[in-house]
Amino acid sequence: MGGQTVQLAVSEGVATVTLHRPEVLNAIDATLATELREVFRALQAREDVRAVILTGAGRAFSAGADLKYLGRRLEERASADHLLDELLAPLNDVVRIIRGMPKIVIAAIHGVASGGGCNLALACDYRLAAAGTRFNQAFVRLGIAPDCGGTFFIPRLIGWGRAFEWMVSGELIEAEEAARWGLVHRVVPEGELLEEARTFAARIVQGPVRALAAIKYLLMVSLTASLDEQLERERQIVGMLAATDDFGEGVRAFIEKRPPRFCGR
């Protein structure tokens, strides 16, 4: 499944979504943006998928927006509104789906993650980077502001001051620096990137998926909640989870001193 610029493979509860324009470092044009939205909309509804890996084909995760595509559309006198509808609207939908879907999304990042491609990776729940990967916020070099949620996610990951410096400088940072800042969770050898992503995804699939989805939701809404609001949300969700088969299995497994066998119910 998928299209000409986005590939989808599903195996054992894990979907692997691959940006597939390797000849241009997976730069994002209107076709890729639209196909990526279609794939994530489909995954959102699939009960057989419990975790998603997002990666790129070839030498890079994504170089960001396809500037040749943008240049061509400007020569065709496309309006700013048309360009936003073609490119940014579907990408924003993808970011919303990633953050809102009750599945864990893992970014497997390599080569380069630039601009909107970088921010698409940072929207994911868990982020692995191959050694040697370079990250940047190149928007300022083009005379434009960050998109795809960059100004939302990055200050929350690394703090306002560091986010400001990185965005206004447009400088490249290496994977190890990104890990020190908190942009990525782990840096792994390039040849082990997808294996590590699949290993983490397998843990998710075998885990209490409803509890994992609840953790993702609670962390997300906590960003704008008061303490009282968050305590009430936790109370409601813990109450719902306490009635699940997985919670009963978790308690029994603890008492019996054995690994739990979660079923997702």
How many C-beta atoms surround the C-beta of residue 102 within 10 A?
A: 13
Q: Per DSSP, which regions of the chain are E strands?
A: 6-11, 14-19, 51-56, 104-109, 112-114, 126-130, 134-136, 173-174, 186-188
Report the percent of the chain where pLDDT is more than 90. Answer: 85
Q: What residues contact 149, with CB distance under 8 A and at least 6 apart? A: 92, 95, 119, 122, 123
Residue 86 has pLDDT above 90, yes or no: no
Portions of the chain given CATH number 1.10.12.10: 208-256
What's the rounded mean pLDDT across residues 14-23? Answer: 98
pLDDT (0 to 100) of residue 140: 93
pLDDT digits (tens, 9 = 90+) for 240-264: 999 999 999 899 999 999 899 998 8
Residue 77 has pLDDT above 90, yes or no: no
DSSP H/E element including 74: helix 67-75
0.85 cut: is pTM over it? yes
Using alpha carbons, select from 90, 59, 223, 74 the residue that is nearest to residue 144: 74
Q: Categorize the per-residue pLDDT at 1 as very low, low, confident or very high, splitting at 50, 70 and 90.
A: low
Residue 84 has pLDDT above 80, yes or no: no
DSSP states of 226-247: -HHHHHHHHHHHHHHHTTSHHH
Residue 2 has pLDDT above 70, yes or no: no
Q: Categorize the per-residue pLDDT at 81 as very low, low, confident or very high, splitting at 50, 70 and 90.
A: confident
What's the rounded mean pLDDT across residues 81-110? Answer: 93
Average pLDDT, the chain: 94
Residue 171 buriedness (CB in 10 A; 0-12 / 13-18 / 19+): middle
Write down the architecture of domain 208-256 according to CATH. Orthogonal Bundle (1.10)
Portions of the chain given CATH number 3.90.226.10: 6-205
Is the CB of residue 110 less than 8 Å from the CB of residue 133?
yes
How many C-beta atoms surround the C-beta of residue 229 within 10 A?
A: 12
Q: What is the CATH number of domain 6-205?
A: 3.90.226.10
Q: Which amino acid does the sequence have at 32? A: L
| C-alpha span between 126 and 103 (Å, rounded) | 11
What's the rounded mean pLDDT across residues 206-234? Answer: 94
